[in-house]
Structure 1
Amino acid sequence: MKNQTTVVEFIILGLSNSRCLNTFLFVVLLIIFLLTITGNIIVVSLSLVDHRLQSPMYFFLRNFSFLEICFTSVVMPRFLYSLLTESKSISLLGCFLQLLLFFFLGTCVFFHVAMMSFDRYVAICHPLHYGTIMNGRVCFQLVLGCWVMSFLLCFPPTFMVVLLPFCGPNVINHFYCDTAALLQLSCRDTGHIEVMILVAAVVVLPGTLTVTIVSNGCIISTIMRIPSTTGRKKAFSTCSAHLLVVVILYSSSIFRYIRPGQRGARDFDKVVSFLYSVVAQLFNPYIYALRNEQLKQALKGVCGRAFSKCVRLS
């Protein structure tokens, strides 16, 4: 077999072949996409314009929301277009670009979740030293470290997938360009790439999950010592909401990527991928940010000023 690519485009099957179901999926996913983008844009905008939201926590939330906008935009617009037009083809360049961005930004999401859990641990368990520990320089270094580590871990295996020759079938049994499906379509042995993907997944998922679990465990332990029952209930409400997102995000991702065989695409993989690439991204801005009292007050203030201005102009 010659070491050259003879496939010029891929066919992405999507979630269903039914026109009626695809129309329903288009409406639902369009609403989810708009809610996700809107929620994250609100968080970024409020944290920039309101002087009360300049603490490290909101700095991390702003970066996380920007990351969520980028990550959601990698898959959803192309998928919505295919549902609307029934065009399932994607060029090699478009597929490879989607693959690289999806795994780079997706990995960065896990590092950000762990980083924000650590930030909340310092704020709740060491409030007197919070300003000293989480100063501006440390916050910038943490965010930069998330992006750099994500790139270093994800770029080598995904770039090696891009360099593979594709000489035969070009049908991807997924709703985006996924590594497992692409490995199945390659006409070369991909065992070494499967090992690299598995190693990267083991480093990222259990590693960041450990930081998240330990941080939340310390937070829960501190909450239990709060004398006020109302205070404990409020704190547990916020913590449980965060843990719900963590469970959905990590359980689906670990099931999908931490397994010996990375080659091949199963129908159930599409359902699992839908959980961490669509459902979890919808929950994130509303659970991590817009349930926050200071953000809600800032949003009410902005809406109130905008309404007053409209009344005066009319």
Structure 2
Amino acid sequence: MGLLPNGGTKGRESTEVGKYWYECRRGELYPMGCFSEDNQRLEVGQTYKRDGYAMTCNLGSDGYLQFEYSGCVAPDGNVYGPEETWTDTLNTYYFKCQQNGKFLKMEAEGCVSHDKQRRIPLGDTDDNGEYIYKCTQKSSGAISLCSVGCIHDGIHYATGEQWQDGAYLFYCKSVNGKCTKQVIGCVEGGKKLFDGQKYRRDGTVFQCEVRRNRRSHKVIGCVAEENGKMIDKVIGCRWYLHTENSKIEQTCVRDGTGTRVVTVGCIYRYQGYDRIFLEPGMYTVWNLPKQYKEAIGLACRPTENGARLDVFGVNNLVAETNGLTYDTPKGK
């Protein structure tokens, strides 16, 4: 017996055949509708929701009743037709109701940008401020914008990449799944320096210092000549330049943005002992031990590189002390 198109009036006797129901009209079965999973009677064209999808009772072109997928049901209960998209309740990612042959499939399509103005397909990236984010679906199925890089002066850097900004070296680092810009070193004369490394410039010793809340090219010392070699001296440190009968005492002091070597004074050594101390620009007369019954003149004379100690006879006192200031003898 063939199946005829739906028609007729209410009140006619109906019969059930599997998931479908019919009316008997003039000895023929007229297709009237379907039964839902919970045995609810549906007429042709009516829809019910099942397992996240909308199922519609349709009459096919062949005259047979059938259920067809007609839409995807979002968690909020709204129904979306094939190829339609929607976002989650928090507007952080979006879905699409994909046609898959005779079936529909609710697919995660991508993420919503941080400013909620754009949709980013899965696998694509989006710039937000100083950082790069990628729309990623985890093995658990969760979708999120993951931090994958940094942006500095318009240039993109992936996690792990370095770049120079002025006198410092930066690094794009991932911390607990989020990228952050971190200073990892200094740059001097095109050379990369990391925390604790030192360099010299214009007679000053600098050290690259990188801390959590600060960074600097820290001034730590002077470059001083000692025995024909250039030696690094720490600020505040004192040292001596030796001659046969003297020691020239020097120290390193801070001077503006750098340092300089300062000569503290001259020390006269007599018979292996430090005897007299003079500041630069000073002279004195010292009486030798009694057994010698004579006096000598001592002058701490400034020089281009510091000072030198001159020892002379008192008979030449005027000539040897021109431009110098007298000081009473002081022991060292």
TM superposition score category, shorter chain reference: under 0.3
Q: Which has the higher helix share?
A: 1
Select the structure with the greater relative contact order (CA < 8 A; seq sep ≥ 6): 1
In proportion to residue count, which structure has more strand? 2
